[in-house]
Structure 1
Amino acid sequence: AAHHRHAHEHLFRKGLNDTAAVCTPGCTTIWKTMTGEPTLVAPSTTKTQTQILTVTPSPKTSTQAPPPPPPTQAPPPPPATTEIVVVPTPVVTTCPTPGTYTFPATTVTIQKTTTVCDATSTKVPSGVHTIGGVTTVVVTATTVTCPVATIHTSGSVTTSTIVQTTYVCPSAGTYTIAPITTTVSEETVIVYPTPATYSPGTYTAPQQVVTVTKTGFVYICPLTSKGLSTSTTPVSTSTPAPATTTVKTQAPPPPPVKTTEAPKKSEAPKSSQAPSPPNNNGGDLVSNNDHLGMTYTPYVGTTGQCKTADQVDSDISAIKNAGFSVVRVYSTDCNTLENVGNACSKYGMKMIAGVFVKSSGCSIDTPDIKEQVDKLVAWGKWDLVVLLVVGNEAIMNNYCSPQQLKQLITDVKGKCSGKFNGKVTISETLNIWQREDVSSNLCSHVDITGANIHPYFNNGVAPSEAGQFVRGQMSILQKICNKSVITLEVGWPSGGQDNGLAVVGLDAQSIAVKSIREQCGNEVIFFSLEDDRWKQKGSCGCEDSWGLGRAFNINTSS
């Protein structure tokens, strides 16, 4: 399933582009140099292979540290070679032989919004490959202006730089701007640059201890934002907005806006069992009408920037007036706790709070997780919270193992002990919950079974059958842990590609929502309030079209 996530890539960017999508002759590229420091990526001199590694973060990182020394390692392997950069790009290191390597903590502070070269890697077979670049889909002749990453080689030094390009697309179609073509003689992990935009703030990479089992292993150590200013740009955490995301899946807005990963919609596994109502003793997690709650992320629908407190207040008021009693949030960025919490308190609504987990780590000491938990503990308005969700499709996206997520739940509960004694759960799809390693580790650690269920991704489900499908999935979920079930995301896209019987459109969306409300609306959280036009459309063409405001007659602030 694609993460709702809330996986967020830069607008129009793909990690590995289809060579057939490259623009044919007739497109004109005009290059202009963008202001910013270039970054260096040392080319690998040894064969690169895949490996199994163990990463152990240290509990703390310094906030004002001098440039770190080269990484050290336990004998017998020789020292790893690392390029230290002066902007918060990931540090790329080649570990020449098997062994244990220690990478010291790194802290970088920037004063203004900066676009730099990020590092991305992909494993490819032998042959010619087209990678990188920025991919865009246009519906008419269009001129696109965007930053792209380029590579220049001089002797043994490879320099990656960001340039601003104006790309003229003569007609409707899919175009890849400034892709990189490379030839490899055998299966190889290629590291190549992509644009990344960073807001002002301090970025930190904790000390890492890495065990390498293969020769020539390339290790990319990312830096995570810490202590960013609360401006109009969303803080990058990995969530949430529905971020980012997801891809649980969980796509950010156009540069220079930097946002968290919004969750992507999750494909729901097929169910052959007839639905039967689960025993749900959820208390505040069951409403007395046919629409319990709505997911909410405080991002402007067209740009992905943070909404103001007044805009959030207006949205929460509209959600309340539509008859909802609960709002689900994914993380703490964009002053979510303060702005959404104040509005919920004002209008008499409850909250489902969240700790968003992304690829940077699944430990209480992972910087972005620690930042979220610290904010939750300091916030103090736990009387508003009826449920705390730790991770949004974190197992599905391979951000956490079941054992790691189990430990994270324990640690989060410990941090919040004495302040919050309510229900705690995770949010995964049914097929993840059905795994023995998941149920055996996590059933005992959740108070209610939380799941994301999106019937659109099952091509045998028509809009009119959406509610029956969701009810059937909830019935199966109830038997896994023998606990109450809450659907933490359910919706239907108004745009994108038809998926068999699961057709899209405003009418189809209205029919699906009506079906869900009739079957189980009092036990589900609808996804989501408004369309997120700043997101990439995704493979379904639908990731930006899940807004349900029209279906519930809600006018939003965007």
Structure 2
Amino acid sequence: MRVSNLVRLVPLLSVVLALPTNPKYLHEHKDKRDIVTKVVYVTVGEEEATSTSQAVLLNGQFGLEAGNNQRTTTTLQQEITSSTNTEIPVSITTTANSISAAAAIIDSTTTSTTPTSAVVTSTSPASSSSASSSVSDAGAKGISYSPYSNSGGCKSLSEIKSDLSILSNYDVIRIYGVDCDQVANLLQAKASSQKLFLGIYYMDQIQAGVETIQAAVSSYGSWDDIYTVSIGNELVNAGEATPSQIKQYIDTGRSALTSAGYTGPVVSVDTFVAVINNPDLCNYSDYIAVNAHAYFDYNTAAADAGTWLATQIDNVYKACGSSKNVLITESGWPSKGDTYGAAIPSKANQETAIAAIKEKCGSQTLLFTAYNDYWKSPGQYGVEQYWGIYSSE
């Protein structure tokens, strides 16, 4: 079965991904693991798909992340009937790990998803220690941070210093953009031993973003303070870029950063399912940087968030040919919002999930996020404002 025929989406029933309504980074537009019903016409009988990466294209355009199967392999087999060279409609109601079920149908050589060397014990890239498996005193590699007030304004340097004062045990602080003087402010506010995972958010402003970073580094630190620079966040998952465009963005960013004197890792962050479905992305980043949130899996409870995340690390590691280290650049649990299957937001469950993540794969994880983001819209499940690990609610 040719891949071009495997994913002929005619017609597609009402698959709409929410777009950001605020120019800043919005968590809500990134992780749409809703149960979606779509009709896919599949031509059967021409030739067999030969790899899991081909099979997972069934869900590749919808930003669906891997979770437990909503349907069994048997059910999918019954729906993908083998009428030679005949197009048949296949109605698939799924969360994204039905990609594994589809792969098992089409490719009998699908491998186990039991975590192996990808988790903690995988070899660090020889060119950089930035994806190493050391773990901070806080129990995780790092944590993300947004320098915005509740109303969406820019926090002052003194406010940022206050926020970071209780994050000093983390090795890495991740930020997403260069607005609000955040690179300069974080360089001044962080502990001397901490490093920053920086992000350039707008792909039409890569050069300007690098210049802002360079100016901040020249004034308040050195390139040794920078752990990684990310060019873009979840662009493929959001349908805002193709893998080939990601390569162009990374090449542009890397060239500008090299000219500015930076020699550390350059990546583009996406969701783990986007990388699994588009393994070309593995080739462009210096290590594999992916976001993954167990809450959106539907079948995963807070206590199992660590095991779930370790499985996704292994899935990505294998999809990328077991050749590059994997860093989870976001993973957390909401403290308020709607129940989503087995996933129940609460402060207690957030603490349980974070503890589980730290136990299973903390050395490969940047937690999401330091404080609640009240400047965001609540989102479809009412959770987008409530991922703050150090917030009271």
**Is the TM value for this pair above 0.5?**
yes
Indicate whether 1:309 and 2:151 are aligned: no
Match of 2:21 in 1: 9
Indicate whether 1:319 and 2:158 are aligned: no
Q: For residues 511-553 of structure 1, what are the alpha-carbon distances to aligned partners after superposition, in whole Å with 9 as ceiling and x for unaligned?
A: 1111101000111000111111222111111111111115xxx
Q: TM-score, normalised by structure 1?
A: 0.49
The question of whether the paired residues in 2 share the 8 Å contact of 1:2 and 1:247 is answered with no
Matching residue within 521, 537, 543 for 2:362:
521
Matching residue within 163, 176, 187 for 1:341:
187
What CA distance in whole angstroms lies between the structure 2 residues aligned with 1:268 and 1:508?
A: 21
Q: How does 1:145-544 map to 2 (within 5 A)?
A: 238-239=23-24, 243-244=25-26, 247-248=29-30, 268-270=65-67, 273-278=113-118, 279-281=122-124, 283-285=129-131, 286-289=133-136, 290-300=139-149, 302-320=150-168, 323-344=169-190, 346-357=191-202, 362=203, 366=204, 368-380=205-217, 381-418=222-259, 419-435=261-277, 438-440=278-280, 442-481=281-320, 482-544=323-385
**Which residue type is aligned with residue 376 of structure 1?**
I
Unmatched 5+ stretches in structure 1: 11-237, 251-265
What CA distance in whole angstroms lies between the structure 2 residues aligned with 1:514 and 1:267?
A: 25
Give 1:332 shift.
Answer: 0.4
What CA distance in whole angstroms lies between the structure 2 residues aligned with 1:468 and 1:2?
A: 30
Cα gap change, 1:310/1:536 in structure 2, threshold over 3 Å: closer, same or farther?
A: same
Q: For residues 159-186 of structure 1, what are the alpha-carbon distances to aligned partners after superposition, in whole Å with 9 as ceiling and x for unaligned?
A: xxxxxxxxxxxxxxxxxxxxxxxxxxxx
The question of whether the paired residues in 1 share the 8 Å contact of 2:144 and 2:175 is answered with yes
What CA distance in whole angstroms lies between the structure 2 residues aligned with 1:412 and 1:246?
A: 26
Q: What secondary structure is seen at the aligned counterpart in 2 of 1:487?
A: strand
The question of whether the paired residues in 2 share the 8 Å contact of 1:267 and 1:455 is answered with no
What CA distance in whole angstroms lies between the structure 2 residues aligned with 1:401 and 1:281?
A: 28
Relative to structure 2, which stretch is displaced further, 275-284 or 455-464? 275-284
Cα gap change, 1:277/1:463 in structure 2, threshold over 3 Å: closer, same or farther?
A: farther
**Which residue type is aligned with residue 135 of structure 2?**
N
Cα gap change, 1:413/1:477 in structure 2, threshold over 3 Å: closer, same or farther?
A: same
What CA distance in whole angstroms lies between the structure 2 residues aligned with 1:454 and 1:2?
A: 20
What CA distance in whole angstroms lies between the structure 1 residues aligned with 2:265 and 2:216?
A: 18
Give 1:400 shift.
Answer: 1.4
Match of 2:103 in 1: none
What CA distance in whole angstroms lies between the structure 1 residues aligned with 2:289 and 2:377?
A: 26
The question of whether the paired residues in 2 share the 8 Å contact of 1:461 and 1:469 is answered with yes
Give 1:443 shift.
Answer: 2.3
Q: For residues 114-144 of structure 1, what are the alpha-carbon distances to aligned partners after superposition, in whole Å with 9 as ceiling and x for unaligned?
A: xxxxxxxxxxxxxxxxxxxxxxxxxxxxxxx
| Between structures 1 and 2, the one with greater helix share | 2
**Which residue type is aligned with residue 21 of structure 2?**
E
Relative to structure 2, which stretch is displaced further, 267-276 or 374-383? 267-276
Q: What secondary structure is seen at the aligned counterpart in 1 of 2:180?
A: coil
Q: TM-score, normalised by structure 2?
A: 0.69
The question of whether the paired residues in 2 share the 8 Å contact of 1:267 and 1:453 is answered with no
**Which residue type is aligned with residue 365 of structure 2?**
V
**Which residue type is aligned with residue 281 of structure 1?**
S
Unmatched 5+ stretches in structure 2: 1-14, 33-62, 68-96, 101-112
Give 1:371 shift.
Answer: 2.6
Give 1:284 shift.
Answer: 4.1
Determine what percentage of the aligned residue pairs are the same residue: 27
What CA distance in whole angstroms lies between the structure 2 residues aligned with 1:408 and 1:288?
A: 30
**Which residue type is aligned with residue 505 of structure 1?**
S
The question of whether the paired residues in 2 share the 8 Å contact of 1:246 and 1:392 is answered with no
What CA distance in whole angstroms lies between the structure 2 residues aligned with 1:398 and 1:268?
A: 14
Give 1:500 shift.
Answer: 0.9
Cα gap change, 1:318/1:531 in structure 2, threshold over 3 Å: closer, same or farther?
A: same
Give 1:487 shift.
Answer: 0.1
Give 1:277 shift.
Answer: 4.1
Q: CA RMSD in A?
A: 2.5
The question of whether the paired residues in 2 share the 8 Å contact of 1:456 and 1:499 is answered with yes
**Which residue type is aligned with residue 216 of structure 2?**
W
Q: Work out which of the two has the higher radius of gyration on C-alpha atoms and give 1 or 2.
A: 1
The question of whether the paired residues in 2 share the 8 Å contact of 1:434 and 1:480 is answered with yes
Q: For residues 65-99 of structure 1, what are the alpha-carbon distances to aligned partners after superposition, in whole Å with 9 as ceiling and x for unaligned?
A: xxxxxxxxxxxxxxxxxxxxxxxxxxxxxxxxxxx
The question of whether the paired residues in 2 share the 8 Å contact of 1:267 and 1:458 is answered with no
Give 1:340 shift.
Answer: 0.3
What CA distance in whole angstroms lies between the structure 1 residues aligned with 2:165 and 2:333?
A: 23
What CA distance in whole angstroms lies between the structure 2 residues aligned with 1:371 and 1:269?
A: 35
What CA distance in whole angstroms lies between the structure 1 residues aligned with 2:186 and 2:234?
A: 23
